[in-house]
Every structure is written in C-alpha cells, then in structure tokens.
Structure 1
Amino acid sequence: MDAVSSVTMKALSTIQDVQNLSDQFGAKTLVARGGYSEVYRAEWVRSGAQLASMNVCYKVLRPPISNMLSDVEQIEKTMKHLTREMKIWKSLDHGNIVEFIGFAIERRDGVPEAALVSEWCSNGNLVQYLQCKPSCSRLPLLLDVARGLTYLHDRDPVVVHGDLKPVGQHVFSMKPA
C-alpha cells in the first residue's frame, strides 16, 4: 500500500465518534465519479439488525497514489479536516440535511478503500429531480435549501457548507416525499 493510502486508512480507523460500518455492504452500483471519489448506491446489510437491508450512498475516497512526502503531508491535513467534518455532519439532525451514517474501510481486489456512508435519496440531486419533474414548483425547493442553511448557520459554532451545488451528492439530494 502506498503512503497516501496508508495515511487515509490510519486516520479513518482511529475515529471513535463515528459509526464504523466496515464489512456491512452487499451490492454496489456506480452512480457518479469525481476527481477524488466515486459514489455508489450500496446495499447496507446492517450487522445484527432485525430490519432488512437498505440502500445508502457509499462515497469511496480516491486519494492520489503516492509516496512523495508533500503528498503524504497534504493527505494528512485533508484527513484531519475530513474527520472533523464527519464528526460535525454526524451531529446534524434536520429534515433538509441528508443524514450521515458512518464510514467503512473495505477491500476491493485486495486493496483497502475508505468510504463515507450517508442516506440514499431516491429522487436524486436537485438537477435530476427537476429533469424528472420539470413543472414542479421551485419555491418550496428553494425554501427547503434555505431551511437547511439556516439550521447550519444557527448552530454554535456556525457550520458553513462551503460547496453547495445543485448536482451535489449530499445536501441538495431530494428525499422522497
């Protein structure tokens, strides 16, 4: 394993305030790919749960493969930020913010991968929702976004999202009505 991947795995494995969901997933279907991540719809087979499995958003982190000291130092800073972000996201509880469930460290083809797990929004992101329902009223959607942002900004300390966009995998995802 390269040094950057090692730092990523070490940082995630030391998190205590966030649920570790490793080895609790069945089938995964790729739904989006970005520069440093891939997003899947995954079947969460909850360990020891009485309830049936459920679909979740499974975002696999894809840090650059490297052993260069500068890359390792950068990923250490990134992982510190990410672990703080996970703890904050886990503490959020609002109807207009997607629920963060936990993280997973699993192996694919013998290589460890880290993933963030959140609730699956079957209606997709805002752009997908509007494509399927072009005549829907936009004002209620705008008010839902404003309510979610108000909740974040009214917290102490204030939470600033910093990357809000209509094609996002999380905050704008449209929950089933």
Structure 2
Amino acid sequence: MPFDYDFVIVLAAEIMRHRDGVDLIDIMLDMGCDTSRPNRAGVTLRQFALSTNSLPLIRTVLKRERDPLDSSIREKMSQLREQYLALPLSPGATELLELLSHLYSLTGHYPSIVLDRHEISLAPRGAPAGEGGFGECWEGIFLGNRYVAMKCTHGFVLPETAMRRTLREMEMWKTLHHPNILPFIGSVTLDSKLYLVSPWMSNGNAAEYINRHPDVNRVAILLQVARGLRYLHARTPPVVHGDIKAANVLISQNGGVRIADFGLSRWAINGSSNGNSDTWRSAGNPRWQAPELLEDSDDGEIPRRTTESDIFAFGRFMIEIYTGELPFPYLSDLRVIVTLVKGTLLPDRPMEPEVVSRGLNDNAWLIIMDCCREEPFRRLTVQELILRLKSL
C-alpha cells in the first residue's frame, strides 16, 4: 500500500513519547513501509531513527536489515561512545550504553579497539576461566551486559616481556576478520595490566565440546577450522597460526567454530614465520609440532613454523577430534619428543568401535597421514585438505 512518508516521520517522532507506539511502526513495516524512502524534506525513516537515541525505534527500524552496518551506523556508534564516555556515571549513560550494546550485537562492529575502563570490567570471580603456557583468560563484562573473554599474560611474567608479547599478538589478531576466526574486540588496561578482549565462547574449546556432545558432526568442525586456516594461509603475506590444536579452537553458543590464540602467529616470509625471540620460535607443544621444528639446523638457528607445519598440526588436531584425547595420550611430552626424533610421526591408528563410528574411517585416516608427512612439501595444502574433508 502507498504511504505518506511525511506522516511516517511525524508518527515516528510521536511514538518516542509512548513506549507502545513503536508497535505502530512495526505494523507499517510489515505492510511494506520502506525505511529508506525519503519524505519531501529528503529524510528517511532510517535516518530519522538514527538521529535519535531511542532504542525501541532504532531496534524496530533496523531489525529487518540483514546487514545493517554502513557508514551511518558506524558514525552513530562513534557518537554514542563519545557521549557515553563524556558522562559515564550519569543517569542518562545507561540508555546510551544499552543502545551502543544493541548496535554492537547487531553489527559485530565497535568504533574503537582501545577500550576505556568504563566500557569493560572483570567479572567478579577469583580465578581465571582458563590458562595456557603464556597467559590467562578471564571473564569480563563489556557494555554492561555482554560477557567477553579477557586475555592477559601470567602475573609472573616481567612487565616488559608481557607488554611485548601482548602487543605482538594484538598487531596480528586485529587484522583478521573471518567467520571461523575468533573476533578481536579491542584492548584495555586495568590496574596496569593489558588485556585483549574477544567475545565469550560459551561452549568452550573443541576438546571440551566434543566430549560433552559425543554425537556432534566432527567433519563439520574440521571443515570450519580448515576454512579458517585457508583464510590465514591465503593472506598476503600468508599467516602462520603456529599452534593449531583443540584447546585453541573455540565453539560459540550456536555451534560456530573459531580459531583462537594468535600468540605464536606470524606473517610468513618465503614460507617461514618471521619470529623475534628464540623463546617465541621454540614455543609450542611437541604433540602437535612437525618434526622439522624439533631438529637442530646447521647454522644454529631455531626452525621456524610454516604453513606446512600448520597442516601437520591439523592432522594431529584431527586425531583429537575423532578420539577425544590428546595425540599420544599414553606418553609424556618428553617421550613424545623422543618418539618424533626416532621417526614415529603418528600414534597407532585408533580402531575402537566408538572412534570408528565417529567417522575415523580409512579415508579420514589417510587425510591425517597426508597432513603428517615427514617432508613438508609432501603434505596437503589447505585447499587440498578442504576438498578431501568435503568428501568424507
């Protein structure tokens, strides 16, 4: 039906006085009212909504848009953030924060990667939610109502070293944008400690997830990780993740798979990753490391992780996903190194009926073997890996 768009704008202005009035706009949108059609003054309903700070109106106008993020939304979010930070303790700040939080949830965009202490805080718990070799992960609250992960270095790490490691990871992570890469929200300094902030993945890591959901489609998990890895390896220059394993693959509330933890990642130059310190170059766990990373070079240089060593690690990751156990679960880390040096690149093939029923058939095991070839050039490329996984 035809609409008088001058009346539409007047109505939108009026409903801001009545909390139930937004239902009228909702009905008009159901009847075909176009939010992008201007009135005689050249103003659209969408433009008018974004000129206000009315959460009910903005929510109603934008909710039908599949991808609402554009320059006007970016500008609106920047304005809201500036307004909120100018009066973070005032009564009006709560409404601004609610609107900013809604637009963030709608778009996945935030106007600054340097966060203010008024935008984020640590959740009230006495211990980190998780720990790794280089750092800790704490639960935080972002924009008043959104749980996030806040990653920092261990407290015993020297401040200079902690800052260098954190900044190095942030410089890499903030450039990455893909559905199968954990999003980077930003960084914040609280009590002199720098945190890297990302969305909270409520289903935990892949190892925890498959053990809680034994009937999950494991090929679907593997394919999503492989697509994330393809995105990394296809960049210019390629990105070497350097630490692919189930603990570094996180599962969102809706089952989406995200590669996380870029503490050992680097841009690859001529196939290898440009690392800084020997500590960084030699980091990693032998259960997932390619054999060339454990060898001594003739010039005394520590071998660098490559896109090929990522593929090797993916093969070991596949073993985790199908068995629910670490590679070589019956060996200590030291014995794993000895085993690799002796030339044993894979554990014995698991043949338990429950493992086979999860999909570890002949074809899946052959993919694992082709990922874990001793010679790096004989390993699958990530595109070959994806094609093989699709055939399972």
Question: Quick check: TM above 0.5?
Answer: yes
1:85 Cα deviation after fit: 3.1
Q: Are the aligned partners of 1:32 and 1:38 in contact in 2 as well (CA < 8 Å)?
A: yes
- What letter is aligned with 2:179? G
| Counterpart position of 2:146 | 54
Asked whether the 8 Å contact 1:28–1:40 carries over to 2, the reply is no
What is the one-letter code of the residue matched to 2:237? P
Shift of 1:146: 0.3
> Residues of 2 paired with 1:65 and 1:135: CA distance?
41
Give the aligned partner of residue 125 of structure 1.
Answer: 205
Please tell me whether the aligned partners of residues 103 and 115 of structure 1 are also in contact (alpha carbons under 8 angstroms).
yes
Contact 1:36 1:63 (C-alpha < 8 Å) held by counterparts:
no
Partner of 1:94: 178
In the alignment, what sits opposite 1:166?
Answer: 246
**Larger gyration radius, structure 1 or structure 2:** 2
Larger helix percent: 2
Residue 175 of structure 1 corresponds to 252
Query: Shift in Å at residue 82 of structure 1?
Result: 4.0
Counting matched residue pairs gives 139
More off after superposition, 19-28 vs 142-151: 19-28
> Paired residue for 2:123?
27
Correspondence 1:67-78 to 2 at 5 A? 75=161
Q: Residue 135 and residue 65 in structure 1: after superposition, are their counterparts in 2 closer, same or farther (change >3 A)?
A: closer
Counterpart secondary structure, 1:100: coil
1:140 to 220, 225, 231: 220
| RMSD between aligned residues | 2.3
Counting strand residues as a fraction of each chain, which structure ranks higher? 1
CA contact (8 A) 2:116 2:188 kept: yes
Structure 2 CA distance for aligned equivalents of residues 43 and 114 of structure 1? 16
The one of the two structures with greater contact order (alpha-carbon pairs below 8 A, sep at least 6) is: 1
> AA paired with 1:91?
T
The separation in 2 between residues aligned to 1:120 and 1:149, in whole angstroms, is 21
Cα deviation code 1:87-136 (max 9, x no counterpart): 221121111110011111111xxxx2221111111111001111110111
- Shift of the 35–162 alpha-carbon distance from structure 1 to 2, 3 Å rule, reads closer
Q: TM-score, normalised by structure 2?
A: 0.33
Post-superposition offset of 1:65: 5.3
C-alpha offsets along residues 129-173 of structure 1, whole Å, 9 cap, x if unaligned?
1111011111000000100000000111111100111112xxx10
> In structure 1, how many angstroms separate the alpha carbons of the residues matched to 2:124 and 2:223?
33
1:135 maps to a residue whose letter is D
The change in CA–CA distance for 1:98 and 1:65 in structure 2 (over 3 A counts) is closer
CA distance in 2 between partners of 1:119 and 1:92 (Å): 14
Residue identity opposite 1:99 in structure 2: P
**Residue identity (%):** 35
Query: 2:152 and 2:222 mapped to 1: Cα distance?
Result: 29
Structure 2, unmatched stretches of 5+, are 1-111, 255-392
In structure 2, how many angstroms separate the alpha carbons of the residues matched to 1:153 and 1:22? Answer: 33
Extract structure 1 runs of 4+ deviating beyond 3 A. Answer: 63-66
* Change over 3 Å in CA distance of 1:28–1:125 after alignment to 2: farther
Unmatched tracts of structure 1, length 5 or more: 1-17, 47-51
> 2: CA distance between counterparts of 1:28 and 1:38?
16
**How far apart, in 1, do the equivalents of 2:116 and 2:199 lie?**
16
Select which of 169, 176, 188 maps to 1:85.
169
Letter in 2 for 1:33: E
